[in-house]
Amino acid sequence: MPKIELKNVYKIFGEDPQSVLPLVQNGATKEEILEETDHTVGLDNVSISVEEGETFVCMGLSGSGKSTLIRHINRLIDPTEGEVLVDGVNVLEFNESELLELRRHKMSMVFQSFGLFPHKTVIQNVAYGLEVQDKPLEERTRISEEQIKAVGLNGFEHQYPSELSGGMQQRVGLARALATNPGILLMDEAFSALDPLIRNDMQEQLVELQSKLHKTIVFITHDLDESLKLGDHIGILNGGRLVQVGKPEEIIMNPADDYVAAFVKDVNRAKVMRAKTIMLSAEQNPLNGKKSAETLKVNENSFVEEFLPIVLEQHSLVEVIDKQGNTMGFITEKEIAKSLSKS
């Protein structure tokens, strides 16, 4: 069972969305709806499925519907039509107390604007969700200190947000979201307000934390490089419509339309393509079962850019192995050249 599902979700903003819904369902575009009815299409028949423990990145240009989508998951926004399921249960049927329970215990949200309380210290901000859950002070303090350490802010527990840099403030926001140990983490343009170097650092930190915690993350961004770095799967929105969903390498290699192709045309494919994606099967070993002295062993999830320089310099044959060290397949310079070609 998927952890999160949106099924045929429509969201129309305006005075009478139900009257406009049939027009959208019959194929009218976002621009046509706005011109003819003065209503705005937020989402147009969007369906996604997010598995437990994966990072699903939703991206698109401004106004594409990204933030509208993520706000349906915790019901900050209700759809005009469609279903929103968490753990197989339609959250649109929740009453107020059930919805409060969902937000307090099952999911947390990290915003672009940090959303910290200026009058609370770092540790007080991190402990806020635990306080709402009525956890004892001793437990709140212990968990908060653990999360502050996890995001690299130990020593800053008693500082106020105004005394921290933007990157440090966002770390506090992330620690606060993780403190309640939610199964689902919703991140809406969480790193967009940060300087490039700090943003890259936060991305690395999230990847590292996710490798240990295995949360179900829905991450919203307009940045393709960020999508490719963080996402197990990527969904691309255009005008409220979901135009493509796939793994990063699938998006790069097979863009669904011109809109997606424009996004990915300048991507360095070596940063995206993984060894397991381009390898020949073990049966297709070009050395016919004989190991070469120049064979380079790499993990199945290694990116091409990690071993490309060695292959080009030594003309090595790449042996792809799994976590147990078993041979999965092989890569020659020919497969690498083919994967990096944009023709």
Tens digit of each residue's pLDDT, the chain (343 residues): 899 999 999 999 999 999 999 999 999 999 999 999 999 999 999 999 999 999 999 998 888 999 999 999 999 999 999 999 999 999 999 999 999 999 988 999 887 777 889 999 999 999 999 998 899 999 999 999 999 998 888 899 999 999 998 888 988 988 998 898 899 999 998 888 778 888 888 888 888 889 888 999 999 998 888 998 899 999 999 999 999 999 988 898 889 999 999 888 888 888 888 888 888 887 776 665 555 557 888 888 888 888 888 887 877 788 888 888 888 888 888 888 888 876 5
Per DSSP bridges, beta strands 318-321 and 327-331 are antiparallel
56 sits in which H/E element: strand 55-59
Structural tokens at position 220: 């919203």
Confidence (pTM): 0.84
In 10 A of CB 250, how many CB atoms?
A: 16
Q: Which residues have a Cβ under 8 Å from the Cβ of 36 and sit 6 or more positions away?
A: 23, 28
Distance CA 3, CA 279 (A): 31
- The helix/strand count (H/E) of the chain reads as 15, 14
Residues of the chain with CATH 3.90.1280.20: 275-340
Dihedral, CA atoms, 259, 263, 268, 273, nearest 10 degrees? -60
Phi, psi for 43 (deg, rounded to 5): -135, 140
Residue of 270, 324, 273, 272 whose CA lies nearest to 297: 324
- Would you state the pLDDT for residue 225? 87
Question: DSSP string of 223-240?
Answer: -HHHHHHH-SEEEEEETT
69 three-class SS: helix
4-120+184-268 fold = Rossmann fold (3.40.50)
CATH code matching the domain that covers 275-340, chosen among 3.30.70.3270, 3.20.20.10, 3.40.50.1370, 3.90.1280.20: 3.90.1280.20
User: How many CA atoms lie within 13 Å of 237's alpha carbon, on the beta-carbon side?
Assistant: 30
In 10 A of CB 73, how many CB atoms?
A: 23
Residue 255's DSSP bridge partners are: none
Residues of the chain with CATH 3.40.50.300: 4-120+184-268
Distance between first and last Cα of the chain = 38
Residues 179, 184, 186, 190: is their CA dihedral positive or negative?
positive
